[in-house]
Amino acid sequence: MLSVKTKSVRCKAKQTARLGPILLLTAAACGGGGDGAAAGREAAAAKPERFRALVFTKTTGFRHDSIPQGVAAIRELGRRHAFSVDTTENAARFDRRRLARYDVVIFLQTTGTPIRRSKQRRAFEQFIRAGGGFVGVHAASDTRGRWPWYERLVGARFKRHDPGTSERPVEVVDRRTRATRKLPATWTRTDEWYEFRSRPRAHVLAQLDESRPLAWCHRYDGGRSVYTAMGHTQSSYAEPLFAAHLLGAIEMAAGRGSFNCEG
C-alpha cells in the first residue's frame, strides 16, 4: 500500500508493481483512467486516499432508474471523503487479482443473476474471506441463480415490496454505528419498502417495525457485510441523511472505524 496516493486505482496498481512503495505520481504521469477513475483522482488530489471501492451495478432482472444517481452519489462521497470509486457492470471484473485492489465492493441495485460464472463467484468469495467488505443497496437482495453463499452474505433475500413508494417512519434501532449515527431515532422518508423471506441473521440497524428490518450488518465468512433495503428512488441519493447512511455503511464495510455488529 502506498503512503502517498495521487492516482486512480488502475493506474496506481500498475505503477506500484513497477516502481515499489516510494512513489509520487504527478497527474500528468499516468493518463487514461476509465469507468469511475476520475472521481478517485479528484479525491486523491485533495487528501490521501483512505480506501478503494468498486461499485457493481449489473442487472439481469429489474433495472432501477436510480442507478445513475446512486453511482453519482457514491462518487461524490468518494471525492469528499477520500476514497477512490471505480464502477462496473462487467462481471469479468470479478477475478482474484482485480478484486484484491479493493477494500469494499458495493452491489448497487444489482438484480437477477449478476454473477453467473462459478469462477467469478469463487473470486468474490475469496475476496470476502480475505477480509473484504460488502455493501448491498436495495435490490442487491433481489438475487436469483442459486448462490446461497451470496444470500447469506447479504443476510436475507427479497420477498416482496409494498405497492409504489410511500412516506414512512423508519425506526433507527442502533444509532451508534457509522451507518446510523447521523440519523434521527425516527427517520421519516419516502422509499419503496421491502419485505424479506426470512429475518436476517445479522445485527439490525433500522426497521419499519419488529417484523420489517431495513438495514443491518454482520461479519460473514471472514469479511464485513452491511446491507440497506432503502434507496429505490432517484431522490434518495439527494437526501443528506441517506448519503450519510450510505457513507457510513461503505466505511464500515471497508473496515474504517468500528464494526459493532454483534448480537
Residue 56 or 83: the one with the smaller Cβ distance to Zn ion is 56
Residue 71 Cβ vs Zn ion, minimum distance, rounded to whole Å: 16
Residue 64 Cβ vs Zn ion, minimum distance, rounded to whole Å: 6
- Residue whose Cβ sits closest to Zn ion: 232
Q: How far apart are CA 17 and CA 212, in angstroms?
A: 47
Tell me which residue of 237, 223, 258, 232 sits closest to 105, measured CA to CA: 223
Instruction: Write the burial class of residue 126 (CB in 10 Å: 0-12 exposed, 13-18 middle, 19+ buried).
Output: middle
Q: Angle 230-252-46 (CA atoms, 0-180°, nearest 5)? A: 100
Q: Residue count at the site for Zn ion (CB under 5 A)? A: 2
232 binds Zn ion (CB under 5 A): yes
Residue 161 Cα to chain centre, angstroms: 21
Interacting stretch for Zn ion, rule CB under 5 A, among 53-61, 88-96, 180-188, 229-237? 229-237
Q: Angle 217-218-220 (CA atoms, 0-180°, nearest 5)? A: 140
Residue 63 or 175: the one with the smaller Cβ distance to Zn ion is 63
Residue 74 Cβ vs Zn ion, minimum distance, rounded to whole Å: 17
How do beta strands 194-196 and 158-161 pair?
antiparallel
Residue 66 Cβ vs Zn ion, minimum distance, rounded to whole Å: 8
Residue 141 or 177: the one with the smaller Cβ distance to Zn ion is 141
192 binds Zn ion (CB under 5 A): yes
Residue 49 or 192: the one with the smaller Cβ distance to Zn ion is 192
Interacting stretch for Zn ion, rule CB under 5 A, among 12-20, 89-97, 228-236, 247-255? 228-236
Tell me which residue of 103, 115, 73, 98 sits closest to 10, measured CA to CA: 98
Residue 84 or 111: the one with the smaller Cβ distance to Zn ion is 111
Residue 59 or 120: the one with the smaller Cβ distance to Zn ion is 59
Residue 143 Cβ vs Zn ion, minimum distance, rounded to whole Å: 14
237-250 in b/e burial notation, b at 16+ Cβ within 10 A? bebeebbbbbbbbb
Task: From residue 66, give the alpha-carbon distance in Å to each of 154, 231, 235.
Answer: 20, 8, 8
Q: In the range 45-84, which residues lie near Zn ion by CB under 5 A?
A: none
* Site of interaction with Zn ion (CB under 5 A): 192, 232
